Amino acid sequence: MASSMAATACATATALSPSTATAQRPSAQGRLVFPAAPPAPTPSGSAPPAAGRLGQPRYSLPLGLRLASVVVAALADPLKVMISGAPASGKGTQCELIKTKFGLVHISAGDLLRAEIAAGSDNGKQAKEFMEKGQLVPDEIVVNMVKDRLLQPDAQENGWLLDGYPRSYSQAMALETLEIRPDVFILLDVPDELLVERVVGRRLDPETGKIYHLKYSPPENEEIASRLTQRFDDTEEKVKLRLQTYYQNIESLLSTYEDIIVKVQGDRTVGDVFAEIEKLLGSSLEKKTEVVSST
């Protein structure tokens, strides 16, 4: 119930464009600022009392308008989520589902780096050297790249879903300095022995970006199967190095978000994992909506 209510609020929120909701550009804190509603004309022609804060008008609004202000307020502070976990724990797979359901902007540090590699940029060339060794790409390359994407208007207006970032204490601190904090930090927990199998069986569709697994999520038909590709770091040898890097960094990272971490068992079916995440994010969104509507 909670999730369906929140999903309704979310769907309504994402359906409204910021301009119809009279939103301004994001403020320095990354939040949208909504100006007070213009005074409604009164039958006598006298100006009504000025509107109070959102959801708390000093004069009575029709019910429809009051509901609308709640939805607008929800847009003013959209959902912000981080998802973390070992290599192949299912972050990308869950992000696709979260993005579709909640309309968040998916920002994957790994995808941004692969885009730099594909573009042949200097950053891409440097990044590839580290990625091939299963190591973290240096902060000089990653931090600004992710920050810039995060501060784009679409992410600020619709909310964001940060996948695989931050991955170290220094990256977390870079966000804290900018007062960029999620509402929820999801940690996907999958036993190591499953991760290698997931990595070596992973395939990607270069046309749709969809993630497949030869055993667990095989391609729908021969045509798709024939065009699937494999990531250069998806070998047994490299995933072991990536896993080592993950364990070297994860503890220090978690301390930054300990009050908002939710551990989700990722060794279940994709659907079961998502059902838990959907419930979690639904209730998080509902809480945000309630807070805003009661102020």
The residues assigned a catalytic role are: 91, 167, 202, 231, 242
Residue 262 tokens read as: 């939710």
Residue 158 CB burial class (10 angstroms; 0-12, 13-18, ≥19)? buried
Between 77 and 197, name the residue whose CB sits nearer to ligand AP5: 197
**Cβ of residue 32: shortest distance to ligand AP5, in angstroms?**
26
CB 103 within 8 A of CB 159: yes
Residue 28 tokens read as: 């320095």
Query: Up-side HSE of residue 43: CA atoms within 13 Å toward CB?
Result: 0
Between 106 and 288, name the residue whose CB sits nearer to ligand AP5: 106
Between 66 and 128, name the residue whose CB sits nearer to ligand AP5: 128
**Cβ of residue 183: shortest distance to ligand AP5, in angstroms?**
20
Between 70 and 137, name the residue whose CB sits nearer to ligand AP5: 137
Residue 247 CB burial class (10 angstroms; 0-12, 13-18, ≥19)? exposed
Q: How many whole angstroms separate alpha carbon 8 and alpha carbon 18? A: 18
Residue nearest ligand AP5 by beta-carbon distance = 110
**Cβ of residue 78: shortest distance to ligand AP5, in angstroms?**
22
Residues 6+ apart with CB under 8 A from 264: 186, 187, 188, 189, 273, 276, 277, 280
Residues forming contacts to ligand AP5 in the complex (CB under 6 A) are 85, 87-93, 109-110, 113, 130-131, 134-137, 142, 164-167, 171, 198, 201-202, 211-213, 216-217, 242, 266, 269-270, 273
Q: Dihedral of CA 243/245/250/253: which sign?
A: negative
**Cβ of residue 16: shortest distance to ligand AP5, in angstroms?**
31
